[in-house]
Amino acid sequence: MSTAGGRRAILAALAANAGIALAKFIGYVITGSSSMLAESVHSVADTSNQALLLLGQRQARKQADRLHPFGYGRSRYFYSFVVALVLFSLGSVFALYEGSHKITHPEPLTSPVVAVAILVVAIALESYSFRTAVVESRPLKGTAGWWRFIRNSRTPELPVVLLEDTGALVGLIFALIGVGLTVLTGDAVWDGIGTIGIGVLLGVIAVILMVEMHSLLIGEGATGEQERAICDALDATPHIDRVIHLRTQYLGPDEMLVGAKIALAAECDLATVARVIDDAEARIRAAVPAARVIYLEPDLDRALTK
């Protein structure tokens, strides 16, 4: 479900950004606006980012092998981290440079009406992409807030597209304000200030994405709700006295590794232990479907045997 939803959001963003990038670049050639140029590079970066996210999903589907016995699920985290780097290097740094240059060497705009028209159309297209990402994210978000969803989601593509589209919409508004003030005041410095605003915005989004993707890359465990569900499933299994300790880690957005040491009654024979483990694994998978790789270590409840 998360893969299909993420793919729809990525394809919608890819189509929107490709068309917007071309329109913005044509607008820059006509008007000479640095805000338009910064937004053109921003849209090119976003288009490249969506291609990288699709590549990450494709790599994650590779079968496990001897070198990677748990599969390639984390490829989606890696390529999402690369997206953050691309957004920063191509988007933020370029916009900051271009904005600084425009402020120190202001140049008048030509045909500003063309720039405004293109920006308005781009806002409409980005709004469509943003709406698609929101619709696809809602089933995974549940009752949590959007910021919590971005922080806690183990599916990287949807938070990435959401933040990208948010940055694109706000950046377009900055560009529109910069061009509008330039037309009203006749001072091209405002165009440069708008471009600087775009650069700062993209830099902030890129840092947020890098922090979140770094956390996923090094391995995040189950959410508190999932961990409680796993413990409840184990506690409800006959012959299990208690959970001694539990460790979890996401091997990919849709696959979790669960390792637990469980205390069994001392009178359990080997056949009973085997049945208990099978029963416990089935209960865990029913409670948390993402828990696909499960290792349970039976032990005596030493607190009771002393």
Instruction: Calculate mean pLDDT across residues 4-12.
Output: 71
Please indicate, yes or no, whether residues 189 and 228 belong to a single structural domain of this protein: no
Instruction: Indicate whether 135 and 243 sit together in one domain.
Output: no
- pTM value surpassing 0.75: yes
Q: How many H-runs (helices) and E-runs (strands) does the chain carry?
A: 11, 3
pLDDT digits (tens, 9 = 90+) for 72-130: 988 989 998 888 887 777 778 888 888 888 888 887 777 778 878 888 888 888 888 88
Give the residue from 174, 194, 217 where a domain finishes: 217
Per residue in 31-82, pLDDT tens?
777 777 777 877 787 788 888 888 888 898 899 899 989 889 889 899 988 8
Res. 233: pLDDT tops 50 = yes
Does residue 248 sit in the same domain as residue 291? yes
Share of the chain above pLDDT 90, in %: 22
Give residue 302's pLDDT.
Answer: 61
> Is the same domain home to 109 and 229?
no
* CATH code, domain carrying 52: 1.20.1510.10
Does the pLDDT of residue 5 top 80, yes or no? no
Q: Are residues 264 and 212 in the same domain?
A: no
261/163 same-domain check: no
Same structural domain for residues 248 and 143?
no
Domain match, 195 and 265 both: no
Can you give the residue range of the structural domain that contains 243? 224-305
Long-range Cβ contact pairs of 186-189 (< 8 A, separation 24 or more): 186/108, 187/106, 188/102, 188/106, 188/107, 188/108, 188/109, 189/102, 189/103, 189/106
Are 54 and 114 in a shared domain? yes
Boundary-marking domain end, from 217, 232, 254: 217
pLDDT at 1: 40
- Residues 144-180 have pLDDT tens digits of 888 888 888 888 888 888 888 888 889 889 888 988 8
Q: Quick one: 44 and 177 in the same domain?
A: yes
- How many distinct structural domains can be found in the chain? 2
62 and 194 fall within a common domain: yes
Closest by CA position to 188, among listed 38, 33, 24, 41:
33
Q: How far is CA 232 from the centre of its chain?
A: 30
How many CB atoms within 10 Å of residue 69? 8
pLDDT value at position 260? 95
Q: Are 179 and 33 in contact (CB under 8 A)?
A: yes
Question: Both 47 and 72 in a single domain?
Answer: yes
Which CATH number fits the domain that encloses residue 262?
3.30.70.1350
pLDDT tens digits, one per residue of 256-287: 999 999 999 877 888 999 999 999 999 999 99
Which among 189, 217, 245 is the end of a domain? Answer: 217
